[in-house]
Chains A and B, each alone.
Chain A
């Protein structure tokens, strides 16, 4: 049984009349890397702030390591936050920045020196001790801000979009670094981001947040391959969505009749979702679904192909850059029956 380190119980947050967080229950296990994923304004940062103590929930409880910390002052919680814009103290040296938490706890100087040295070695910033934050690159500053939190031995490290200010290449590098750091230290990371790639590549679990509610929670593979709603399917990666009605293990859609796994009752309204990488194209007639090539977008390792089916644009991804199709070529679309994700329509009653 995994130990629960952070628990949110019936957590609700209102700003005035507006309900930002709607009755969330969430359990975070010790040592895991969990990502709160959602578009901006979905409430993910509010959840983080309530764990750190910077914000109090309107109702509900926050537990940290079994203890109710709902009304505990942020300075007394064994939790640290990493901010998006690093929030380093501009006039202190790197050394002093990292040391700050221990100094506030009145740890003896010898001990502080030792720990700061360890932290600097941990993120390979030897030689930067006496510099000011402004003299460091964005990635280096972010590393400083991470160990400035870690030096306090937090039970949980909260990261609020820590990489969004970095350029793509550096971001990719920092993703790997962060993940390795987390594994090495075994500290629980709660990571907030709106970047689905970041969430998929780093997390042990992802909680997809929509409008102040947890839409789905699970491992990256689960949320990507078995999304519970169109929102999740569309938010994580790209999705081709067909709407239809089940008739004898076939989905009758506007575009075509598509064979599906025998799982649904007749007359159920469903959404059929196929990931672009699962769509196979063929010039031979091997299915009902036919379209014309609309656009081909070369993206280095793979090529994205947009196919016009009726009025809908279907995306497909093929590896390599072989331009085997021309614009307005007629192609047939297929996929393995088990690659289709089928969800009962949310507005079934209507």
Chain B
């Protein structure tokens, strides 16, 4: 019995190491005096100082954040409204539309990237932040719709009837009653859209233009010359940022669960 427990713990340890060791290495090397990500020579904050002088890197970060936030907000709004319409109303080809929704999720990113590029060229759109945002909205919407739909399916349909019975117009019912009820789904959809946008390489590679380099693209392009430790520093800062957000959202979720 005791042996079993040791094996159990060992397994857990191995799984977690596999998941988190790479991240730990990055954090460690961001404090490395050597500029090579091979051996740890000494401790320094230099790379963090360097980071704030690296204009290209900062610009890439700025672009990434702009694209991520704008595309998340727009795709969340469109996705939520679409999910509601798909749930509530019946119209011709509804089932086909529902099936089509999964296509952007399952087709290879490279196909979507090339198609988007083809369309942009067809309409003579100049590649830049705008086309990049458009592309990100495009692949985020289905994820939002699917998330929102799943909470809508669990929503008591009588709630809307009750609201209208109490004198709320359709618009007011939507904003006062439906939105707050499905908010968890909307938020998880938005969270997914944000993460997808933040680390997208393939689609961005085709749809970004000069001056709209994003962080993943930048890192990808400097890989040939070797990743400099200031990138490690940037990633460490981003990790910290994600960690803080995750902690907050976990606390909120736990509080909500306890209240239910």
- Give the B-binding residues of A (Cβ under 8 A): 52, 54, 74-76, 79-81, 83-85, 87-92, 100-101, 104-105, 132, 134-135, 145, 148-149, 152
> Are B166 and A80 neighbours in the complex by a CB distance under 8 Å?
yes
Contact between B161 and A101, CB atoms less than 8 A apart: no
Interchain nearest-CB distance for A299 vs B (Å): 36
Contact indicator A89/B181 (Cβ below 8 Å): yes
In the complex, the chain B residue whose C-beta lies closest to that of A52 is: B165
Q: Are A148 and B260 in contact, with the CB atoms below 8 A?
A: no
Write out the residue numbers on chain A whose beta carbons fall within 8 Å of the beta carbon of B161. 54, 81, 83, 87
Contacts of A104 in B (CB 8 A): 166-168, 172
Report the bound CA distance from A52 to B164 in whole Å: 10
Chain A's closest residue to B155 (CB) is: A90
Closest to B260 in A: A134
The 8 A CB mask of B234-260 against A (1 = contact, 0 = none) is: 000000000000000000000000011
Given contact pairs A75-B168, A134-B259, A135-B259, A100 touches B180 in the complex (Cβ within 8 A): no
Known: A52-B165, A74-B164. A89 touches B259 (CB 8 A): no
Cβ-neighbour of A75 out of B156, B169, B177, B260 (below 8 A): B169
Cα A80 to Cα B161 in complex, Å, equals 11
Tell whether, in the assembled complex, residue B158 and residue A83 are in contact, meaning their CB atoms are under 8 Å apart: yes
B21 interfacial contact with A, CB 8 Å? no
What residues of chain B lie closer than 8 Å to A79, measured between beta carbons?
A: 165
Asked whether, in the complex, the Cβ of B168 is within 8 Å of the Cβ of A91, the reply is: no
Interface flags for B141-165 (1: CB within 8 Å of A; 0: not) read 0000000000000001011011111
Contacts of B260 in A (CB 8 A): 134
**Nearest 8 CB-CB pairs, A to B?**
A87-B158, A101-B166, A87-B162, A104-B167, A91-B180, A83-B158, A104-B168, A81-B165
A-B contact pairs, 19 of them (CB 8 A): A52-B165, A54-B165, A74-B164, A81-B161, A83-B158, A83-B161, A84-B158, A85-B156, A85-B158, A87-B158, A88-B159, A91-B180, A91-B181, A100-B166, A100-B168, A104-B166, A134-B259, A149-B165, A152-B167
Least Cβ–Cβ distance between B237 and chain A, in angstroms: 35
Determine the distance from Cα of A144 to Cα of B137 in the docked complex, in whole angstroms.
42
B180 touches A101 (CB 8 A): no
B183 at the A/B interface (Cβ < 8 Å)?
yes
A81 to B166: give the CA distance in the assembly, Å: 8
B-side interface mostly: helix
Q: Who on chain B is nearest to A158 by CB?
A: B165
B167's partner among A83, A105, A132 (CB-CB below 8 A) is A105
- Give every chain B residue within 8 A of A135 (Cβ-Cβ): 259
Residue among B156, B165, B167, B168 facing the most chain A CB atoms (10 A cut-off): B165
A149 to B156, CA, bound (A): 18
Judge whether A148 and B180 touch: CB under 8 Å. Answer: no
Taken together as a complex, chains A and B put the C-alpha atoms of A135 and B256 apart, in Å, by 12
Q: Which residues of B contact A84 (CB under 8 A)?
A: 158
Contact B162–A83 (Cβ < 8 Å): yes
Residue among A76, A79, A88 with the most chain B CB within 10 A? A88
**CB neighbours of A85 from chain B (8 A):** 156, 158
**CB <8 Å contact, A132 and B259:** yes
Q: Which of A54, A80, A89, A152 has the most CB of B within 10 A?
A: A89
CA distance A79 to B172 in the complex (A): 19
Q: A87-B156, A89-B181, A91-B181 are in contact. Are A81 and B162 (CB under 8 A)?
A: yes
Q: Which residues of A contact B163 (CB under 8 A)?
A: 89, 100
Mark interface residues in B174-196 (1 if CB within 8 Å of A CB, else 0). 00110011010000000000000
Bound: A88/B161 CA distance, A: 11
Chain B residues whose CB sits within 8 angstroms of the CB of A90 once the complex forms? 159, 181
CA distance A81 to B164 in the complex (A): 10
With A83-B161, A104-B172 given, is the CB distance from A89 to B180 under 8 Å?
yes
Identity of the chain B residue whose Cβ is nearest the Cβ of A96 in the assembled complex? B176
**B167/A75 in contact, CB under 8 A:** yes
- CB-CB under 8 A from A52, the residues of chain B are 165
